[in-house]
Every structure is written in structure tokens, then in C-alpha cells.
Structure 1
Amino acid sequence: EGTPSSLGDLLLFELEEAPGVPFDDLVEVSNYVAALEHGLARLREGFPLSNRLLREVHARLLSRGRGSNRLPGEFRRSQNWIGGTRPGNARFVPPPPTVVPEALADLDRWIHADDPLPPLVRAGLAHVQFETIHPFLDGNGRIGRLLITLLLEHWGILKTPLLYLSLALKRHRAEYYQRLLEVRTQGDWEGWTEFYLECVRESALDGVSAAKRLFDRLGKDRRTVTHHRATTVTAVRLFDLLPEHPIVTLPRAMKLLKTTKPTAGKAIDALCKSGVLHEISGKQRDRVYAYDAYLKVLVEDTAQPE
């Protein structure tokens, strides 16, 4: 929701290094990743997609940082509104808290009922219903977008969460909010569905393009590493681990490789000499290394204008 944290910032945060953005922003992004991972893990354990699971995911989303005092994991007990300074001048006023449990129960029954509509369309309709109910005091937008991913997992459409719909919705933020409003005020479900499916198409094409560029990048760089005169067997092993760990430190490399400090250090040095890793901390001790070219591919589509 506008949190200005890069992937590199988040990876540094997870390494307990000091990134260049406010701490609360990074906590918020880290919480989002943790919430998604928790929801997917629970579904894969056989736990049903339910209001209880949404509360669990919400509790992790607001577990630290901004919003941690806004009833994490609990449905709201007071009236909220969207836009404006009070319900009287708000852009939209969700239903009162007394009807939230039943509204969510209706949504839950619809999700688990037999329906002839394609699952991808149903996920978009469920998103609108959830956003309209707005059951939490904070984090409804993030949970609503996570709900799409969880539904596609629940219905077996995606085996891994590769459809990053949030970026497309951010690119078209003004139309997104307008489409939601027109469903609520005019019943324009067709307009919403057309917009949503176009965002899905855009996200899918982005994902395919990024995957191709990543494979090309990895293939090119692996050839460079294996043919460089400074390369060791351990350096090649470390390179093969970089896609999952594109920012590393010496202690992290030792742990990943299960090897000694000198051996890990030589592997990092070899990857630096081959041009794959670059030191990014500017420090003489406790240095941090990044696989810049790989990270660039991952983030180059995220700087689109809103």
C-alpha cells in the first residue's frame, strides 16, 4: 500500500543489516511476506480457507510495526470508512460491525459452494466482497489481495504464488478504486470483472517475461563463473544458491555451503572477480554482497508509474 521498500531493502532487513529506508516500512513488507507464507502453508497442511485462517493471516500482517495496535487477528468492533474524515463525507462506508460476522459467513459459504463460474473470476468477485465488508480496522487492502492468491491456491489454479496481481492493481490504482465503487453503487460487476481479468492478464505476461529474463541471466552468468580462472567448485555451488539468496554475507555463505570461513571467503571472492557479486555495504568488516544483475531483473518492472 505505497510502502517504499525495495526487494534489496527487504533482503538486507532479513539479514539484519541496515537498509536505507524507514524501519517501519520494512517491517510492514516483511510482515506481508510472512502472512502470505503462513496462509499458503496452512492451506497445504489441509487447513480450510476460512474466516479463522484470514484472522491468522491478519495477525501476522499486523504483528509488528504500524497497525500492531489495530486489533491484529480480530474483526473490527467499531465503524470504519474509506476516504473523508467521518462517515458523513466518506467515499464509502462499509457495513456496521454488528453484521460483519454474518457477511463474512455468507462469503465463506459462497467460496466453498459449487459454482459454474471459472475460479479465476470467482477470486475476483470474492475480492470485491471482502473489500466491501472491510472486516478489519487496518490492513484490509493487503488481506484482500492476499485472498486472491489464497483462493487460487485453494482451488488448485496455482501451485506457487507466481501471479503478482498487486503490481497491476497499483499501476491502475485510480481505476481500481473507481471500479470497486461502481460495483457498490451501481452493481457494475461486469465492468469490475473485465478490469480485474485484464490486470490478471497483465500480471501473467509480466511473470512470464520476468521468468525468461531470469533464466537468460542465470545461464549467462553461470557460464561466466564456470569459465573464470578464479572459479572454484565451491564458488559454483554458491552461485547456484544465489537465486534464493541474492544478498549474502560471509557468515551466510558459510551456513549455506556448510563450509569453513576461508573456503566461503574464497568462493565469494571468486564470484566478485567474475563480476557476479558486488560488495554493497562499503565497509571493511561485516561486508555484504549482492547479485545485482539478478535483483535488477526481479525489480525492473516494479517502478512503473501509479
Structure 2
Amino acid sequence: MARYVDLHWKGDYEGLSRRERKGGLYRAYEPDVLAGRSFLLQGETAADIADAEHEILRLNGTASALRNTEALARMILRAEALSSSRIEGLVIGPRRILKAELGGAGADATAQEVLNNINAMSVALEHALESEITVDALCDIHRALTKETMIDRFSGVIRTEQNWLGGNAYNPCGASYVPPLPQRVLPLLEDLASFCNDNALSPLAQAAVAHAQFETIHPFVDGNGRVGRALVHVVLRRRGLSPNVVPPISLALATRAQEYVKELARFRHEGSFSDSDAVEGLNSWLSFFASCTLHACKNALEFERRIETIKSGWIGALGKAATSTDLLMADAMAGQPLFNATTMMQATGKTMPAVNSSIERFQKAGFVKQVNAGKRNRAFEAIGIIEAFTSFERNLASIADDTAVRKPERPVPFGS
């Protein structure tokens, strides 16, 4: 049964204030195990989950009809990784991170952490294709996430000390939440992995429960939120619900951050999972998660339509002069709006002369501009894509899906 454990913290005399130096009582939470547990879904909750799963399937079905699913998937995956970073406080505009991806100026510490987050999401999705989700897989995702950051020495290492959320850095006595004791972390992670490999729950419900349990365990020194959000996509990909496109659920969660924290707290019940409070907390969390998923899918579908309109405009304007390289370039630029000839050669499989000729045609038509000086190592931007990407992120920052109708609930990018 889930319970709180009452403990005493020994004083730390390195604290600056009296409150930071003194010891005191605190309560660490120990959750129920998940493997073999029954989950009672109320009728409305089950309907919410089914609606959200239908929209994920629609997003992936629509994307599979595109000439290049990878372009859309790449941009939405980047949005998901960026938004997950913003929840952790790493705020950075899309143009800056795209420049860092390309290898240009701007690859500072913040950009590196966000790039790691994108890499971690890719690692997570690779693990989804494996036969089982393991504790080692979760550690690999964390390792990818925290590589070359301030907590590099803890990369992929399960914590051996108590951590907490809120309060101060010296003791957990005033913390808003204290995760399980260190000795309980590995058994709980093993239980979580076992749950993730079971198919008893529907995919989205399983992903939502897995995410909440991971955040409850908080197994790493830092970076737990981003790994927990990546875990959502591991489950969805493994269960076949999102084979092509990852819905940007983290963007929707970030928009409703206060509700997110509140619903996670409701998920953490005391006593038996069959108690009424536990059932209500579970269903409230699942309905909230389904609502965020619907919000994410709706905006992702609109983003896809806008990108397709831009691409159609490019090719339509080139008319009969459009070559097979131009068609491939249009698809590739949708996913890599900041690029150079080498990256386009790799993306299209075409020769350097063919790519350079295509870039010139897009430049003359006014769809591509050079963004650095000189004739060597030229970098280019596909006009309109970053603006569409920024608009996509901004709309998801508003509960009304439009920042002109309702102000954003969180900091939003302006394209820098």
C-alpha cells in the first residue's frame, strides 16, 4: 500500500540561514507498485482516453500520407524536446537551437542542454523499438540527456541520496514533495519497467501512469522531468500508437503547469489503490493527461497543414522548372529549415552540384535566403518554416489555441 514515511533530517551547518541549518521532520512518499495492479477507469475517463488515442492515430495516419513523414516528425519531435526543456527552465528560441544543430554560432551551454534533450528523445524512441523497456534503457535516456552538462558526472546514475522538490537546497523539511528513500528507488524502477512491458492498459493510459510513477520515484539527481516525458513516447511508440509522429504532449503539459503539478499530487494516494480517493486521483490524472494529448494533436495537425501549404507554394511557384531534386529539397527543408549544401546532400541523396542548383532556384524564387556572409560554408534558411514552427509553439501556449484570443500561460518563443 502507498504510504508516507515520517523521518528526521540531521542539521546541515553549511546553510546560510537558521532555517537551512536546522534539522527536522519530513515525510517521504512510497508509492504502490504497478505490476499486477488493477486500474479502475470510470466511464468518462475511458472515453477521454479513447478520444485522445483516436487523435494520435489520426495524426500518424495523416502524416503517413505525406511525401516525407520524416520532415514533419523531425519538427514536431524538436518541438516536443524543446518544450520539455522549457518546463525545466531552459528557455531558448527555435532559430537559435537550429543554428546550434547546424553547428554554427550559438552552441552555448543552454543550447547544448536543449540539444541533449532532443538527442534524449531520439534515444528514447530507439529504445521503444526494442523488445522490452528496462532500467538500463531509462538510464541510457538520462545519459543522453545530461551528457556534457553541469551534472555530467551523474549521467545515467540512479541516485543514492535523498532528493526533494521545493524548499531549500539543504534540507527537505519544507519541501513540497519528497520522493522515496534511495534504497527503494531501484526496486520501484524495476517494477515500473515491468509495468511498461505489460499491455493490460490501453497505450495512452499506460503512458500516463508510467509518467506519473516515474516522476513520483524521481530516480535521478536532476533531469527527471525530461526523462519522464520521454518515457511517454517510449510507451506510445512501443505500443504502436505513434509509429510516425510524436504528439507534442509536453507543450500542452507546460501550458497547464499548475494543473500538472496538482494532478500529479492527486495521483499519489495513501492506502490501497482500490480506495475511493485513489480511484478518483487516478481518473483525474488520466483525464487531464488525455485532455493535454488532444490539445497537442489538434495543434500538430494544424501545423502539418501549414507546412504542406508552404511546400506546395514553393513547388507551385517553380512550376515546370521544378526538378526531382527540388521536390526532395522541399521535403527536407521542412524538417531542416536552417541548412547548408552538405546537410541537403545528405538529406536528399543528390549530388552537390544538383543541390547547389536547387538552392539557387529556391533563392531566386524568394523562398530561401543566405544567413551568413561570404561564399564559403554558406548557411541558408527556408523562409516561412521557422515562423510556422514558432506560431505552432505559441498557439500551444494558449489554452484557447490562439494567443490573440487568450494570453499564453507560459513564456513563448518569438523565433530568435
CA contact (8 A) 1:149 1:161 kept: no
Q: Deviations over 1:172-221 (max 9, x none)?
A: 11111121123226642222122111001111111111111111221122
CA distance in structure 2 between the aligned counterparts of 1:270 and 1:192, rounded to whole angstroms: 51
Residues 145 and 253 of structure 1: is their aligned pair in 2 closer, same or farther, counting only changes over 3 Å? closer
Residues 270 and 123 of structure 1: is their aligned pair in 2 closer, same or farther, counting only changes over 3 Å? same
Q: 2:187 corresponds to which letter in structure 1?
A: E
Question: TM-score, normalized by length of structure 2?
Answer: 0.66
- Is 2:355 the partner of 1:268? no
**Which of 226, 232, 250 is the aligned partner of 2:319?**
226
- Is 2:84 the partner of 1:84? no
Residues 31 and 222 of structure 1: is their aligned pair in 2 closer, same or farther, counting only changes over 3 Å? same
Residues 271 and 191 of structure 1: is their aligned pair in 2 closer, same or farther, counting only changes over 3 Å? same
State, as a whole percentage, how many aligned pairs show the same letter.
Answer: 27
**Which of 351, 369, 387 is the aligned partner of 1:259?**
351
Quote the residue 1:291 is aligned against.
382
CA contact (8 A) 1:183 1:192 kept: yes
- Where does the alignment leave 5 or more consecutive residues of structure 2 unmatched? 1-87, 270-276, 398-407, 411-416
Question: TM-score, normalized by length of structure 1?
Answer: 0.88
Quote the residue 2:260 is aligned against.
176
Residue 27 of structure 1, CA deviation: 1.1
Question: Could you tell which deviates more after superposition, 180-189 or 206-215?
Answer: 180-189
- Where does the alignment leave 5 or more consecutive residues of structure 1 unmatched? none
Quote the residue 1:6 is aligned against.
93
Q: 2:111 corresponds to which letter in structure 1?
A: L
CA contact (8 A) 1:257 1:264 kept: no
Q: 1:55 corresponds to which letter in structure 2?
A: C
Quote the residue 2:147 is aligned against.
63
CA distance in structure 2 between the aligned counterparts of 1:157 and 1:60, rounded to whole angstroms: 24
Residues 119 and 93 of structure 1: is their aligned pair in 2 closer, same or farther, counting only changes over 3 Å? same
CA distance in structure 2 between the aligned counterparts of 1:42 and 1:174, rounded to whole angstroms: 30
Residue 113 of structure 1, CA deviation: 3.5
Quote the residue 1:31 is aligned against.
116
Quote the residue 2:339 is aligned against.
248
Question: Could you tell which deviates more after superposition, 274-283 or 250-259?
Answer: 250-259
Quote the residue 1:195 is aligned against.
288
Q: How is 1:12-161 mapped onto 2 (pairs within 5 angstroms)?
A: 12-19=99-106, 23-44=108-129, 46-69=130-153, 71-85=154-168, 86-115=171-200, 117-161=201-245
CA contact (8 A) 2:342 2:352 kept: no
CA distance in structure 2 between the aligned counterparts of 1:221 and 1:129, rounded to whole angstroms: 46
Residue 14 of structure 1, CA deviation: 2.1
CA distance in structure 2 between the aligned counterparts of 1:267 and 1:94, rounded to whole angstroms: 55
Question: Could you tell which deviates more after superposition, 136-145 or 47-56?
Answer: 47-56
CA contact (8 A) 2:237 2:243 kept: yes
CA contact (8 A) 2:135 2:189 kept: yes
Residues 237 and 159 of structure 1: is their aligned pair in 2 closer, same or farther, counting only changes over 3 Å? closer
CA distance in structure 2 between the aligned counterparts of 1:225 and 1:5, rounded to whole angstroms: 34
2:189 alignment partner, SS class? helix
Alpha-carbon RMSD: 2.3
Residue 96 of structure 1, CA deviation: 0.9
Residue 284 of structure 1, CA deviation: 5.8
CA distance in structure 2 between the aligned counterparts of 1:158 and 1:195, rounded to whole angstroms: 20
Q: 1:76 corresponds to which letter in structure 2?
A: R
Higher RCO (Cα < 8 Å, 6 or more apart): 2
- Is 2:368 the partner of 1:277? yes
CA contact (8 A) 1:235 1:266 kept: no
* Equivalenced residues, count: 298
CA distance in structure 1 between the aligned counterparts of 2:320 and 2:96, rounded to whole angstroms: 31
Residue 72 of structure 1, CA deviation: 0.8
CA distance in structure 1 between the aligned counterparts of 2:197 and 2:389, rounded to whole angstroms: 35
